[in-house]
């Protein structure tokens, strides 16, 4: 077999360049196909990662704990006590890398000129700096210092909509524990940037400030937690459920279904794209290889007359296709790498920011090539390409040796 | 910082008292003006004109008040709005919509919304006392105009008060009719202004029968209130201020 | 010396639509080892058909054919291919070389299919190319060889595996007379010196002049089969 390969490989290689134009066209078809599949894969993966990060690193965390009815109706009535006993021990175990308490209720924020519906959060600033990217996105003023901070941090965009700015007073109104309207004046301590939706929705103050404004003592609305790198989220969620059976404990997959759906469907999207591109490539490969085979019918007859078995001829033509598709795949991979070089430090989607946010991704995508994916998809395309070329190869193997005798 | 401010405020107050000793007390003027406007109870008939650059609408309503905290407003015209009613009891507000035949307690988020499409929010109705309770007041000018003494009172929000304004200035005549109220944003730029356009005797008292609210950032829009009938300190039956009456008016 | 090729009652009928066209009508023929035989006859007389049947490129409608003692009529395809590889050398009228391989590589290609060790392959390759007088042209691709040189390569390649017989189908048809003469002389020389058996289908009288056995065909039948003393090559 090896000696046959050594015999036929150079022949196959030379045969490829008998019709350079046709070969180059096929190479181009395969290369572009592979390129598009890999670039699609990289971008989609970047998108998935980004949308998950955008969601998890905003406020979601890897999981959350609420009073059971909170998610259905996130108001002040559906609050819970601070974690204690077994739940507290579970949260402080090493598999949970960080956790924070929050008050989180629907509210109205009012400036002199405008009023907007928002989500009002009381947070623990030191913990938030660990579980959320939001504290680092404060671009004007500063983030909250501690749980007793009486300032408010709102989105820069919200501030513009309210026609207010850093240092100004705004009023936050929310339903208090006693059912009445709690109103409180806050001075804007900082403005954060980031996703438009987050800027318009969330306003933050210190946890204790929010608790006293709403009159809920030490109660909280949610706990958001992150897990240690090697820990299994599902295991932690079950452990927490076990520790606190009366509370609602959800992993991010349930809290951010869009990000999760993006992640779980991305493989299908890639497979679909692969299928589409492959059909196009297969048409190209079969077409050119069939043309090549028909042109060389006489040669295949000759090879048989000289004593080459039909199987060997099949092998030779397949070898030619394997080389052709293989080179195409390599060129495609190379093109992909070249394409990604300019975006290795991130692809700024600022120009379509609103559109990107619609899908939950951040503004900047960080393309990351998974070598496993690249190898896998390259091999799949290569194998499928060879498979497609089997048809022309069979035509060649079936060539009647008698054609070698035919007169010119 | 806060301490310094407090000392400053106390000092300022002291100074005012020292140098303006004969002048009337700002708090008293304001209180008197509000009492004059609302009395211990009232029954008024009011027309409201909401003006926008491309449209204008007129609403007519009857309003009853009891004490400082309770009010009922029932729309009587135009036909499509007739029957709509707003009831305020203490800190809570309900609205009744006859088409839905439903009473809704306004949630916090609704309180800041426009009342019947006007330049007033539900909060403007519900929190009219704010100017008395949430601000400190200072008499800043006394002048003569059209045969009346006119006091200018500057109201500054108390520290931590849940109000958005930088300050409010009020002009009140010596017959305690408020003729102008200007709301300043926190840059001390006027943001909206309520003016008494016409003052006449209504019932037993001088009254700003035509008032207009101008949002100053949108010069081409305003809301005018014309009070055509008014009776004050009359006996307003308690059943008016009930949810059942809101839904099924007895009169 | 036994018969390398043995044909008995070989018939071949081509179906052309609904019509049966008989190409061979009962051929009995033995080719002896060392023969330098020509198969003459006008176009359509059945020369090429007979050659293709003997070479196992096609199967007869009836009759028996054996090559070096092995019956090939019902032989399985792969075994037929192997038989051709080992025992039969082909020289065609034209296009009988693999275009992407040089002269030496064309010869070597067959030797490699035979799994000959490299040093034997190289020696044999050199030898046959020298025998056909192509020293110095080993590295040329067919497109850079003249028609006569191409046919010499074909002959060299046919000789490479030391076949039992070389079947040549009109090898001179596309050559000018000088080249044709040289090719025939070469083949006759190889027959005379190495004892390789040739069966050449031709209607070239110069070829026939070298022939030591003239077989004539007409309408699918052998009409004459006579031995003669070959004209000595010039």
Q: Give residue C203's pLDDT.
A: 82
| Residue A307 in contact with partner chain C when CB distance is under 8 A | yes
CA–CA dist C93, C171 (Å, integer): 5
Give me the helices (H) in B121-241, please. 122-126, 130-133
Q: Tell me the C-alpha distance between A122 and A220, whole Å.
A: 9
Read off the pLDDT of residues A314-340 as tens digits, 9 standing for 90 and up.
998 899 989 999 999 999 999 999 988
Please, what is the average pLDDT of chain C?
A: 88
d(CA A174, CA B56): 33
Identity of the residue in C52, C109, C157 whose CB atom sits nearest the CB atom of A405: C52
Residue A349: per-residue pLDDT: 67
Q: If pLDDT is split at 50, 70 and 90, which confidence band does A144 have?
A: very high
Burial of C118 (0-12, 13-18, 19+ CB in 10 A): exposed
pLDDT (0 to 100) of residue C217:
93
Question: Taking residues A78-92, what's their average pLDDT?
Answer: 91
Average pLDDT score over residue span A81-86? 90
Q: Of the ranges A270-274, B66-70, B245-249, C226-230, which one carries the lowest mean pLDDT score?
A: C226-230
The answer to whether residue A126 scores a pLDDT higher than 90 is: yes
Q: CB-based contact (8 Å) between A306 and chain C?
A: yes
**H/E stretch holding A299:** helix A297-305
172-191 of B, contacting A, C-beta below 8 A: 183, 185-186, 191
The nearest CA of chain A is from the CA of C46 a distance in Å of 13
Asked whether B167 and B149 are in contact (CB, 8 A), the reply is no
Average pLDDT over residues A208-233: 92
H helices of chain C, in order, are 47-54, 77-87, 103-113, 118-131, 147-159, 177-194, 205-210
Q: Flag if C85 and A3 touch (Cβ within 8 Å).
A: no
Q: Which of residues 201-260 of A touch B (CB under 8 A)?
A: none
Chains in contact with chain B (at least 3 beta-carbon pairs closer than 8 A): A
The more confident residue out of B224 and A366 is B224
Q: What is the pLDDT of residue B11?
A: 46
pLDDT at B19 over 60: no
Q: What is the per-residue burial (b if ≥16 Cβ within 10 Å, else e) of A297-323? A: bbbbbbbbbbbbbbebbbbbbbbbbbb
User: What average pLDDT score do residues A150-172 get?
Assistant: 94
Specify the pLDDT at position A139: 93
Mean pLDDT highest for which of A200-204, A336-340, C193-197? Answer: A200-204
Q: Does A337 touch chain C (CB under 8 A)?
A: no
pLDDT tens digits along C117-171: 889 999 999 989 988 888 888 899 999 998 889 999 999 999 888 898 999 998 8
Sequence spans of domains, chain C: 34-60+77-227
Q: What is the mean pLDDT of residues B216-227?
A: 91
Mean local confidence (pLDDT), B218-241: 90
Residue B11 lies in a domain: no
CB-CB neighbors (< 8 A) of C48 in chain A: 405
Mean pLDDT of A106-135: 92
Residue of B nearest to A184 (CA): B162
In a domain, B218, yes or no: yes
Six token digits for residue B62: 């009857």
* Res. B159: pLDDT tops 60: yes
Do the domain assignments include residue B5? Answer: no
Cross-strand pairs, B155: B137, B168
Answer whether residue A286 shows pLDDT above 90.
no
pLDDT at A355 over 60: no
B12 pLDDT tier (thresholds 50, 70, 90): very low
pLDDT of residue B18: 43
Comparing alpha-carbon positions, the chain B residue that sits nearest to A213 is: B162
Q: Which residue has the higher pLDDT, C229 or C6?
A: C6
Question: Is B6 a domain residue?
Answer: no
pLDDT for position A293: 86
Any CB–CB contact under 8 A between A310 and chain C? Answer: yes
**Local confidence band at C61 (pLDDT 50, 70, 90 cut-offs):** very high
Note the pLDDT of residue B16: 43
Enumerate residues 6+ apart whose C-beta is below 8 A from B4.
none
Number of domain units in chain B: 1
Tell the residue number behind the tokens 């006027």, with chain if given.
Answer: B190
Note the pLDDT tens digit of each residue in A5-17. 888 888 888 888 8
| Pick among 3.40.50.300, 1.10.357.10, 3.30.9.10, 3.40.30.10: CATH of C34-60+77-227 | 3.40.50.300
Q: How far apart are CA B49 and CA B235, in angstroms?
A: 29
Query: CATH number, domain at B142?
Result: 2.50.20.10
Q: Please tell me the predicted confidence (pLDDT) of residue B4.
A: 46
Q: Do A309 and C169 touch (CB under 8 A)?
A: no
CA distance B163 to chain A (A): 7
Whether chain C lies against chain B with 3 or more Cβ pairs closer than 8 A is no
The predicted pLDDT at position B68 comes to: 80
Output the pLDDT for position A377.
87
Amino acid C231: pLDDT: 53
Judging contacts by C-beta atoms under 8 Å, the chain B residues touching residue A183 are 162
- Rounded Cα distance, C116 and C162, in Å: 12
Q: Is residue B135 within 8 Å of B141, Cβ to Cβ? A: no
Average pLDDT of the residues of chain A: 87
Q: What confidence category does residue A354 fall into, taking pLDDT thresholds of 50, 70 and 90?
A: low
Cα A185 to Cα A180: distance, rounded to the nearest angstrom:
16
Assess whether pLDDT exceeds 90 at residue A157: yes
Residue B108 distance to chain A (closest CA, Å): 6
Q: Which residue has the higher pLDDT, C87 or B15?
A: C87
Question: Closest residue of B to A175, CA-based?
Answer: B108
CB count, 10 Å around CB of A174? 25
Tell me: the pLDDT tens digits for B47-100? Answer: 999 999 999 999 999 999 888 888 899 999 888 888 889 998 887 889 898 888
Instruction: Examine residue B7 and state whether it is found in any structural domain, yes or no.
Output: no
In percent, the amount of chain A with pLDDT more than 90 equals: 37
Q: Express as a percent the part of chain A with pLDDT over 70.
A: 95
Q: Is A176 on the interface with B (CB under 8 A)?
A: no
Partner C, chain A 373-402, Cβ-Cβ below 8 Å: 400-402
Q: Is the pLDDT of residue B154 over 50?
A: yes
Residues 6+ apart with CB under 8 A from C5: C29, C30, C31, C54, C65, C66, C67, C165, C199
Q: Give residue B183's domain range.
A: 24-247
B99 in contact with A, Cβ within 8 Å:
no
Average pLDDT taken over every residue of chain B: 84
Token code pair at residue B184: 């300043």
- Contact (CB<8Å) A308/C113: yes
Look at residue B223 and tell me whether its pLDDT is greater than 90: yes
Cis status of the peptide bond prior to C66, with omega within 30 of 0: no
Helix (H) or strand (E) holding B32: helix B26-38
Chains with 3 or more CB pairs under 8 A to chain C: A
């Amino acid at each position: 077999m090896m000696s046959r390969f050594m015999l036929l490989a150079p022949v196959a290689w030379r045969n490829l360049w008998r019709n350079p134009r046709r070969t180059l066209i096929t190479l181009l078809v395969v290369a572009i196909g592979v390129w598009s599949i890999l670039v699609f894969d990289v971008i989609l993966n970047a998108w998935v990662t980004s949308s998950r990060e955008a969601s998890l690193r905003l406020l979601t965390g890897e999981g959350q704990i609420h009073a059971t009815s909170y998610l259905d109706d996130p108001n002040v009535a559906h609050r819970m006590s601070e974690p204690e006993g077994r739940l507290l021990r579970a949260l402080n175990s090493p598999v949970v890398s960080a956790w924070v308490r929050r008050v989180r209720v629907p509210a109205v924020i009012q400036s002199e000129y405008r009023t907007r519906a928002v989500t009002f959060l009381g947070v623990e600033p030191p913990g938030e700096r660990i579980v959320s990217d939001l504290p680092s996105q404060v671009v004007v003023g500063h983030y909250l210092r501690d749980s007793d901070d009486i300032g408010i941090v709102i989105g820069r965009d919200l501030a513009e909509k309210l026609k207010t700015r850093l240092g100004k007073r705004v009023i936050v109104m929310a339903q208090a524990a006693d059912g009445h309207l709690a109103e409180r004046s806050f001075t804007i301590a900082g403005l954060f940037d980031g996703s438009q939706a987050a800027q318009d929705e969330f306003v933050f103050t210190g946890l204790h400030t929010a608790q006293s404004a709403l009159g809920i003592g030490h109660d909280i609305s949610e706990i958001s937690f992150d897990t240690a790198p090697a820990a299994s989220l599902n295991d932690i969620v079950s452990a927490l459920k076990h520790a606190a059976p009366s509370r609602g404990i959800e992993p991010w997959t349930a809290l951010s279904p869009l990000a999760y759906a993006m992640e779980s469907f991305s493989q299908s999207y890639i497979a679909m794209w692969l299928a589409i591109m492959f059909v196009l490539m297969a048409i190209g490969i079969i077409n050119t290889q069939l043309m090549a085979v028909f042109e060389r019918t006489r040669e295949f007859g000759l090879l048989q007359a000289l004593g080459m078995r039909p199987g060997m001829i099949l092998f030779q033509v397949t070898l030619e296709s394997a080389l052709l598709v293989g080179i195409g795949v390599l060129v495609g991979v190379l093109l992909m790498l070249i394409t990604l070089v300019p975006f290795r430090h991130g692809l700024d989607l600022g120009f379509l920011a609103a559109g990107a946010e619609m899908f939950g991704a951040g503004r900047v995508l960080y393309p990351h090539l998974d070598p496993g994916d690249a190898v896998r998809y390259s091999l799949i395309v290569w194998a499928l390409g060879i498979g497609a070329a089997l048809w022309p190869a069979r035509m060649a193997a079936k060539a009647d040796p008698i054609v070698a005798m035919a007169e010119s | 910082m806060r301490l310094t401010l407090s000392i400053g405020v106390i000092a300022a107050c002291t100074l005012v008292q020292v140098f303006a000793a004969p002048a009337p007390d700002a708090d008293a003027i304001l209180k008197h003006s509000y009492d004059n406007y609302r009395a211990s109870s009232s029954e008024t008939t009011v027309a409201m004109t909401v003006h926008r650059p491309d449209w204008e609408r007129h609403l007519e309503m009857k309003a009853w008040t009891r004490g400082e905290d309770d009010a009922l407003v029932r729309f009587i015209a135009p036909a499509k709005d007739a029957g709509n009613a707003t009831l305020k009891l203490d800190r809570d507000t309900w609205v009744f919509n006859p088409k839905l035949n439903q009473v809704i307690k306004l949630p916090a988020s609704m309180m800041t919304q426009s009342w019947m499409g006007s330049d007033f929010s539900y909060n403007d109705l519900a929190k009219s006392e704010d100017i008395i309770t949430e601000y400190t007041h200072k008499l800043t000018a006394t002048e003569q105009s059209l045969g009346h003494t006119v006091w200018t009172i500057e109201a500054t929000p108390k520290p931590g008060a849940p109000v958005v304004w930088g300050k409010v200035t009020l002009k009140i005549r010596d017959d305690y009719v408020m003729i102008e109220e200007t709301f300043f944003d926190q840059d001390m730029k006027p943001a909206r202004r309520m003016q008494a356009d016409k003052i006449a005797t209504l019932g037993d008292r001088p009254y700003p029968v035509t008032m207009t609210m101008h949002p100053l950032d949108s010069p081409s829009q305003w809301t005018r209130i014309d009070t055509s009938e008014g009776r004050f300190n009359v006996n307003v039956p308690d059943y008016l201020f009930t949810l059942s009456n809101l839904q099924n008016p007895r009169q | 010396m036994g018969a390398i090729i043995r044909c008995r009652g070989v018939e071949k009928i081509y179906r052309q639509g609904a019509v049966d066209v008989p190409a061979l009508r009962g051929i009995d023929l033995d080719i002896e080892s060392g023969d330098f035989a020509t198969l003459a006859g006008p176009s359509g007389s059945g020369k090429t058909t007979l050659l293709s049947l003997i070479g196992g490129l096609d199967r007869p409608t009836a009759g028996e054919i054996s090559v070096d003692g092995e019956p090939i009529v019902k032989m399985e395809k792969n075994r037929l291919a192997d038989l051709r590889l080992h025992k039969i050398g082909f020289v065609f009228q034209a296009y009988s070389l693999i275009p992407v391989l040089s002269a030496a590589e064309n010869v070597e290609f067959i030797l490699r299919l035979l799994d000959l060790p490299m040093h034997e392959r190289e020696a044999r390759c050199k030898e046959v190319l020298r025998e056909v007088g192509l020293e110095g042209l080993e590295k040329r691709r067919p497109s850079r060889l003249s028609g006569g040189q191409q046919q010499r390569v074909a002959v060299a390649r046919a000789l490479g595996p030391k076949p039992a017989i070389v079947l040549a189908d009109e090898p001179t048809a596309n050559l000018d007379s000088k080249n044709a003469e040289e090719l025939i002389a070469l083949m006759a020389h190889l027959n005379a010196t190495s004892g390789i058996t040739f069966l050449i289908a031709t209607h070239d009288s110069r070829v026939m002049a070298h022939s030591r056995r003239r077989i004539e065909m007409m309408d699918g039948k052998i009409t004459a089969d006579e031995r003669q003393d070959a004209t000595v090559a010039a």
